[in-house]
Amino acid sequence: MPELPEVETIVRKIKPQIVGRQILAADLRWARTLAAPSPRKFAEQVVGQKILNVGRRAKFIDIQLAEFHLLIHLRMSGYLHIKRGTNRPEKHDRLIIQLSGGRLLAFNDTRKFGRVWLVSDPKEIFKKLGPEPLGKEFTPQWLHAALRKKHRRLKPLLLDQTFLAGLGNIYTDEALNLAKLHPLRESSAVSARQAKALHDAIRKVLNEGIRRNGASIDWAYPGGEFQNYFRVYDCAGEPCQNCGAKIKRIVVGQRGTHYCPRCQRL
């Protein structure tokens, strides 16, 4: 389930292999939201363009072309593959871009949740996003002030990309556990000290996820190991590593939510 660490990892993997190359062909087989209206039009717009850079903003992969930005959101089951040569498309390949130098960039997405945009200015997509949790703007002071302004429960608030951009379900549960805060805790009631703990916990779990190449669960996203280090996510019924109490699973805003009832009191 791609969240920020997976996206970050994928960007680091593909960037050196595709920056500087030119797009020779583009085969768009499926995409939910796309600025270009048709596969033919899409190919017309990108073929011949050079890839200038590959970056990330929140969970979006930003492939900067000479005249456009190709934005890719992997959602849960999406993945970007670099292949050599011109192999046959694999099952669930949704977009295949043939590059100069004999390389192929394929966007594979089993569950068709991922999205692709071709835009001239990525700001139109990014403008609603909150700050980057690993960026300079995200400080304990900012977080405390931002939490106080809201009257929302911590779990849905942290998942809200307009509040803070990049946390998904796994990392939100893990961060709240590390910070010893209950997922249903009212945001405006969080103290400065707790905000500092939450800030540090968010950075810690994201950096840990990146270091372990993200989490591989089920079919999604090969190669990560973070799933072996979950403290609460997907651990319902298991003892808390900190206190031994049984990890609980509840549903908050349609999302599975895992926490330690003893360490994270309401």
Partner DNA sequence: AGCGTCACCCGGACGC
Partner DNA sequence: TGCGTCCGGGTGACGC
Active site residues: 2-3, 59, 255
Q: 33-71 burial, b if ≥16 CB within 10 A, otherwise e?
A: ebbbeebeebbebbeebebeebebbbbbbbbbbeebbbb
Q: Are 160 and 131 in contact (CB under 8 A)?
A: no
Smallest distance from DNA to CB 47, Å? 26
Site string for DNA, 32-71 (x = CB under 7 A): x-------------------------xx------------
CA distance 185 to 26: 48
DSSP states of 131-171: --TTSTT--HHHHHHHHHH--SBHHHHHH-TTTSSS--HHH
For 89, the token pair is 């498309």
C-beta of 129 vs 192, nearer to DNA = 129
Please choose, out of 37-45, 167-175, 194-202, 223-231, the segment that lies near DNA by the rule CB under 7 A. Answer: 167-175
C-beta of 131 vs 168, nearer to DNA = 168
By the rule CB under 7 A, 156 interacts with DNA:
yes
Of 131, 143, 157, the residue nearest 58 (C-alpha) = 131
CA distance 165 to 12: 19
Smallest distance from DNA to CB 174, Å? 12
Q: Which of 19, 252, 261, 262 binds DNA (CB under 7 A)?
A: 252
For 84, the token pair is 């050599």
C-beta of 158 vs 240, nearer to DNA = 158
CA distance 152 to 148: 9
The CA distances from residue 171 to 13, 90, 112, in Å, are 22, 31, 23
Smallest distance from DNA to CB 22, Å? 30
By the rule CB under 7 A, 169 interacts with DNA:
yes
By the rule CB under 7 A, 110 interacts with DNA:
yes
C-beta of 77 vs 98, nearer to DNA = 77
By the rule CB under 7 A, 113 interacts with DNA:
yes
Please choose, out of 134-142, 191-199, 204-212, 252-260, the segment that lies near DNA by the rule CB under 7 A. Answer: 252-260
By the rule CB under 7 A, 6 interacts with DNA:
no
By the rule CB under 7 A, 112 interacts with DNA:
yes
CA distance 231 to 208: 12
What are the two backbone dihedrals, phi and then psi, of residue 81, each rounded to the nearest 5 degrees?
Answer: -115, 140
What are the two backbone dihedrals, phi and then psi, of residue 114, each rounded to the nearest 5 degrees?
Answer: -65, 160
By the rule CB under 7 A, 151 interacts with DNA:
yes
Binders in 70-99 for DNA, by CB under 7 A: 73, 75-77, 92
Please choose, out of 20-28, 80-88, 146-154, 205-213, the segment that lies near DNA by the rule CB under 7 A. Answer: 146-154
Contact residues for DNA, defined by CB under 7 A: 1, 3, 32, 58-59, 73, 75-77, 92, 110-113, 150-153, 156-157, 159, 161, 168-170, 218-219, 252-256
